[in-house]
Structure 1
Amino acid sequence: MNKAVKTILFSVVIGAISLGSFGFVESYFEITKNLDIFSTVYREINVNYVEETNPGKLVKTGIDAMLGSLDPYTNYIPESDIEDYRFMTTHEYGGVGAVIGTRDDHVMITEPYQGFPADKAGLKAGDIILEVDGESAVGKNSSQLSDMLRGQKGTPIHVKISRPATDETLERDLVREKIKIDDVPYFGMLDKGVGYVSLSGFTETASKDVKAAIEKLKADGMEELVLDLRGNGGGLLHESVNIVNFFVDRGEDVVEVKGKVKEHYRMNKALNAPLDSKIPLVVLIDEGSASASEIVSGALQDLDRAVIIGHNSFGKGLVQTTHDLSYNSKLKLTIAKYYTPSGRCIQRLDYGGKRDARGKAMEIPDSLLAEFKTRNGRIVRDGAGITPDLKVEDKEYSDLLATVMRENLVFDYATEFYFDHDSIDEPEDFALSDAQYKDFISFVLKHEFEYKTSSTEKMKDLKQEIEDDEFWQEVQEEYEALASKLERDKEQDFMKFQDEIRLMLESEIIGRYYYSKGRIRAYLSYDPEIKKAIEVLNNKTYYDSVLAGTCTDCLVKKG
């Protein structure tokens, strides 16, 4: 090779290196420059601002605003919030085991967890917390009181409570325990041969708990399964892969993770032999099913391994990892998107695209959604969550039910009922008598509450518009006559809507005796999506037609 050629090649190589390095150098300069600007502004504020400043709060506000401009899942976690972060990822904390809520100026126990310290000490739903270790709880919100109740496992805690239902003031000594919220709050048999598993989260124990539930149900004679992911907001990606693996053969692609950084790429496959790759399977989803729930439902749909029933899922197709920072803080950072086996990403909001006038991310337009095919050739789309194969229409509930729930009248009656009745029937068998329901109506009507309906609210708006247009005198008589006809008779409406009101009231009462598992057991026989799941599983021809995409009422059809 002559000298001239060597010189040319050397120049080309150096040019290529320079061009490749330019972007990095420019980016590094921008980072350095803006860090310098930020530190200068920060210093000037702390030195010269007219009022005293809180340096830590200023930086936290700046960091939160910066991360908030990216997406809602990228978060800075200071040392003070680490325990809350751990609870979100493990569903574990040290405490007394009770759900609490703010009511007026007090914090009330709304449900003690069965078998944990609050329950063992005899604390009940409806108890008002007055003091914790001698410190007044009056005027504190539920978040502040939660911090007071939590602590290291094995540490003592003294609480003083008021029990309005019995007009008592009680004091109790408790010892904090490790509280673990179950990933599988309930499993059991729905129908002959049909098993049911409710999965509420994807922590480190999720797949282990699901596996144990499935094995127990199979031992009890399960031949078909309903996996309930409704309201499950997700969690750990690898746990979702493990759960999909229970139903698909080793080696199947489950979820692909792709980001800007090459090292973040990963194809997650089923690594183990399945528990049962043939069992007929229905998965229930709704608007609250997100992230890991969508990996499970999306993968099983793409592989035509399960019938998906319910409502469109949330649409979170982003993956986060946690990075350790200085001073025991952490950064939870979105690093990638995930793709189900058909190749689709179900992320609904485009955080990297245009924002609306308020700066909010917008949904990806339908015209830009791409089509993909499941293994059987059914058409699925990206960018809009998981579309179920079969949709069950929502039931419309009355304004009266919304009112009595909002005013806590169902909760308060259930509390009184509990202290007046030592026991009730099993959750599946319990029903209020007609006399008890009438007693509830009498209880509610003793309380002052405003019963609003959509029609009466519209009438108020109409009146305001009429008055603004100065026509009131001309139409007042007709308006008042119509408004009078639209005024609802509360007692009559309690009878008209008694089916839905009874259902909610009975569920609240059952929870007092049988806790959250009892509520689930009672509701399963009424649940329209459970009924649809059983119907599908009991009709093999229909089940097969859904997975083939040939049924007439399917939302996901063959292309």
Structure 2
Amino acid sequence: MKKQWKSLALAGALAGSLSLVAMKTDDRFFEIARNLDIYATLFKELNMYYVDEINPNRMVKTSIDAMLKALDPYTNFFAEDEIEDYMTMTTGRYNGIGALIGQRQNKSIVLMVYEGTPAEKSGLQIGDEILKIDGVDIKTRKDTDTGKLLKGQTNTNVKLTVQRYGQKGPLDLTVSRDVVKMTNVPYYGMISEDVGYIDLKDFTATASREVRTAFQELKGKGMKKLVLDVRENPGGLLNMAIDICNIFIPKDSEVVTTKGKVTEWNKTYTALNPPLDLEIPIVVLTNSHSASAAEIVSGVIQDYDRGVLIGQRTYGKGLVQTTRELSFNTKLKITTAKYYIPSGRCIQAIDYSHRNPDGSVGKIADSLKTAFKTKAGRVVYDGGGVLPDVVIEAQTPTPIALSLTNKGLIFDYAVKYRHEHPTIKPAREFHLTDAEYQEFVKWASNQEYDYTTQVEKDLGTLEASAKKEKYFDQIQDQLKALKTKVSHSKDADMMTFKTEVQTLLEQEIAGHYYLQKGLKEASFATDPELKAALDLFKDMGRYTATLKGAK
């Protein structure tokens, strides 16, 4: 009898809990329906009575974007006219000319021409100002989207009217549009006798194939050690990250696990193919802009002790997005899960589910981080990106270098230099002479730019505090003397920080001659993370000790 009562009680409790769940579900659906009805009636009233005509598409898009922004930065809505941009983001392909156009002082300037594209073949140059596109004067049409005008069907022509530095009048160029593929690996090559380098900048649909091709070619050139650079890589497709990891770890090895609300979607992804190489020493370069798929690759390499990470802590994006098809050819990219790498850690740094009272989000506190272990037993932590094995402090640009770059003066002088010098040495060998640097200093002295150093800012704060607290009269003479002493001179700073400014200038100039590859090769000599990688490869005892967790 007691067992019967227990069974009845259990059944009653279960039925009650199911009823409660059903009630909560019904309540949620009711709230959704109620709020959608409120939204529809509000929109109807706006449309009927607002003093000016409203654009329904723009209004709805604005409201959707604001709603999704309250969740996280990665859940996004793509309207029908944005689908082409979405496809470019995922595939790295678009129909156009292959040039990066930017706005400088209300001018449309060619900032980069990509190698092998219609833009390069047509003779378009970095620094050209675009005046007209197919006869449309874009200087007078402020609402014109230059990028959309340049895109179009393959094998159609677009006529550009450009103003080039040093030319008296405009030039007309005819460019035949084609499929432009933005490469995931803009550069790879040998950087020493036995060290290969692969620069991985994205994870679109061909990323794995590009890395595999680069790796095999470098092996054929005698590569015995590899530097894989994922700095400034924002991530991309999860399957590409898995396949790239598979190049260096055994088949069937766990790569990443996703866990979210829909348990049926939770999955552990493993390496599906035989690896290309399980032995080659690897250094992965990371920084604070290495995110998502880039963190999977670097985290997996670290978790399996397959290579040494050098640089700065990664961004900390451990969220997975899934694309859902909506009505009228629109799409929703929605965060559906968090990912966990083989050690068990999730490297998501920002807790979007718990916002501060002001609506901001904060990173996960150190006290809430959990310790995990790599395959060899090294301790690693979750909750804040991937911390490299060898940390290199990020370089902070000096105020003068920052000002020259932000004002576009480094770029402008490179355009001038390219016009005046038909050829230069290969990017790795190119250096400005002292006389050429002085020519730049003289030119810059006639340009408009200025900056405030941190010391000057601190003195300004001290002066304000002194006035507020009635001490200014007592220390004003000392403050005046300090101000005079630390007041910056642009000419003096040009010499004090010559190495930094000249390096920026040389890299920019090399890029104008040799495009993306030139920019990369010109940076090798002064890249602190790359130097640390090469130094580590020269001391394989230290490399091995690092992988074993020895200090």
TM range (shorter): over 0.9
Runs (5+) with no aligned partner, structure 2:
none
Matches within 5 A, 1:127-142: 127-138=128-139
**Secondary structure of 1:327's partner?**
helix
Amino acid at match of 2:433: S
Contact 2:424 2:430 in 1 (8 A): yes
Question: Judging changes above 3 Å, is the alpha-carbon distance between structure 1 residues 199 and 395 closer, same or farther for their aligned structure 2 residues?
Answer: same
State the 1:404 CA deviation: 1.6
**Secondary structure of 2:448's partner?**
coil
1:207 matched to 2:208? The reply is yes
State the 1:433 CA deviation: 1.2
Contact 2:344 2:372 in 1 (8 A): yes
Question: Judging changes above 3 Å, is the alpha-carbon distance between structure 1 residues 52 and 470 closer, same or farther for their aligned structure 2 residues?
Answer: farther
Residue 190 of structure 2 aligns with which residue? 189
Residue 102 of structure 1 aligns with which residue? 103
Question: Judging changes above 3 Å, is the alpha-carbon distance between structure 1 residues 19 and 133 closer, same or farther for their aligned structure 2 residues?
Answer: same
For 2:474 and 2:279, the matched residues in 1 are separated by 73
Amino acid at match of 1:303: Y
Range moving further from structure 2, 10-19 or 66-75: 10-19
Amino acid at match of 2:408: N
Residue 489 of structure 2 aligns with which residue? 489
Question: Judging changes above 3 Å, is the alpha-carbon distance between structure 1 residues 138 and 472 closer, same or farther for their aligned structure 2 residues?
Answer: farther
Runs (5+) with no aligned partner, structure 1:
552-559
State the 1:479 CA deviation: 4.1
Amino acid at match of 2:197: Y
Residue 548 of structure 2 aligns with which residue? 548
Amino acid at match of 2:422: D
Residue 388 of structure 1 aligns with which residue? 388
Question: Could you report, residue by residue, the CA deviation over 1:172-206 in whole angstroms, capped at 9, with x for unpaired residues?
Answer: 11111111111011111122211111100011100
**Secondary structure of 2:327's partner?**
coil
For 2:184 and 2:244, the matched residues in 1 are separated by 12
For 2:492 and 2:143, the matched residues in 1 are separated by 37
Matches within 5 A, 1:122-271: 122-138=123-139, 144-271=145-272
State the 1:7 CA deviation: 8.4
For 1:500 and 1:150, the matched residues in 2 are separated by 38
Residue 554 of structure 1 aligns with which residue? none
Question: Judging changes above 3 Å, is the alpha-carbon distance between structure 1 residues 387 and 473 closer, same or farther for their aligned structure 2 residues?
Answer: closer
State the 1:540 CA deviation: 2.1
Residue 520 of structure 2 aligns with which residue? 520
Question: Judging changes above 3 Å, is the alpha-carbon distance between structure 1 residues 334 and 451 closer, same or farther for their aligned structure 2 residues?
Answer: closer
**Secondary structure of 1:52's partner?**
coil
Residue 435 of structure 2 aligns with which residue? 435
Residue 425 of structure 1 aligns with which residue? 425
**Secondary structure of 2:269's partner?**
strand
1:370 matched to 2:370? The reply is yes
State the 1:45 CA deviation: 2.5
Question: Judging changes above 3 Å, is the alpha-carbon distance between structure 1 residues 482 and 253 closer, same or farther for their aligned structure 2 residues?
Answer: same
Question: Could you report, residue by residue, the CA deviation over 1:412-433 in whole angstroms, capped at 9, with x for unpaired residues?
Answer: 1111111111111111111111
**Secondary structure of 1:508's partner?**
helix
Residue 300 of structure 2 aligns with which residue? 299
Contact 1:159 1:172 in 2 (8 A): yes
For 1:141 and 1:376, the matched residues in 2 are separated by 59
State the 1:129 CA deviation: 1.0
For 1:33 and 1:241, the matched residues in 2 are separated by 43
Amino acid at match of 1:370: T
State the 1:477 CA deviation: 5.3
State the 1:38 CA deviation: 2.1
1:537 matched to 2:544? The reply is no
For 2:276 and 2:289, the matched residues in 1 are separated by 27
For 2:398 and 2:144, the matched residues in 1 are separated by 32
State the 1:396 CA deviation: 3.9
State the 1:152 CA deviation: 1.9
Contact 2:78 2:332 in 1 (8 A): yes
Range moving further from structure 2, 220-229 or 532-541: 532-541
State the 1:273 CA deviation: 0.6
Contact 1:226 1:533 in 2 (8 A): yes
Q: CA RMSD in A?
A: 2.4
For 2:6 and 2:366, the matched residues in 1 are separated by 55
Amino acid at match of 1:432: L
Range moving further from structure 2, 470-479 or 517-526: 470-479
For 1:65 and 1:396, the matched residues in 2 are separated by 34
Contact 1:106 1:140 in 2 (8 A): no
**Secondary structure of 1:525's partner?**
helix
Question: Could you report, residue by residue, the CA deviation over 1:423-477 in whole angstroms, capped at 9, with x for unpaired residues?
Answer: 1111111111111111111111122332432223344455555666787777665
Range moving further from structure 2, 309-318 or 440-449: 440-449
Question: Could you report, residue by residue, the CA deviation over 1:352-403 in whole angstroms, capped at 9, with x for unpaired residues?
Answer: 11x2243122111111111111111111111100011111123343222122
Range moving further from structure 2, 492-501 or 289-298: 492-501
For 1:310 and 1:387, the matched residues in 2 are separated by 9
After TM superposition, the score normalised by the length of structure 1 is: 0.93
For 1:71 and 1:91, the matched residues in 2 are separated by 24
Residue 121 of structure 1 aligns with which residue? 122
State the 1:12 CA deviation: 6.9
State the 1:86 CA deviation: 1.4
For 1:381 and 1:518, the matched residues in 2 are separated by 38
State the 1:147 CA deviation: 1.8
For 1:475 and 1:167, the matched residues in 2 are separated by 58
For 2:394 and 2:7, the matched residues in 1 are separated by 74
Range moving further from structure 2, 162-171 or 324-333: 162-171
For 2:370 and 2:342, the matched residues in 1 are separated by 15
State the 1:5 CA deviation: 11
Question: Judging changes above 3 Å, is the alpha-carbon distance between structure 1 residues 548 and 10 closer, same or farther for their aligned structure 2 residues?
Answer: closer
Matches within 5 A, 1:259-408: 259-353=260-354, 355-408=355-408
1:60 matched to 2:61? The reply is yes
Contact 1:106 1:141 in 2 (8 A): no
Residue 73 of structure 2 aligns with which residue? 72
Residue 86 of structure 2 aligns with which residue? 85
Contact 1:94 1:179 in 2 (8 A): yes
State the 1:532 CA deviation: 1.1
Question: Judging changes above 3 Å, is the alpha-carbon distance between structure 1 residues 337 and 8 closer, same or farther for their aligned structure 2 residues?
Answer: closer
Contact 1:346 1:385 in 2 (8 A): yes
For 1:321 and 1:329, the matched residues in 2 are separated by 14
- Kindly, what percent of the aligned residue pairs are identical? 41
Contact 1:102 1:142 in 2 (8 A): no
Question: Could you report, residue by residue, the CA deviation over 1:72-127 in whole angstroms, capped at 9, with x for unpaired residues?
Answer: 11111101111111111122111111112111121111121122222222221221
State the 1:304 CA deviation: 1.1
Contact 2:92 2:205 in 1 (8 A): no
Amino acid at match of 2:192: D
Residue 556 of structure 1 aligns with which residue? none
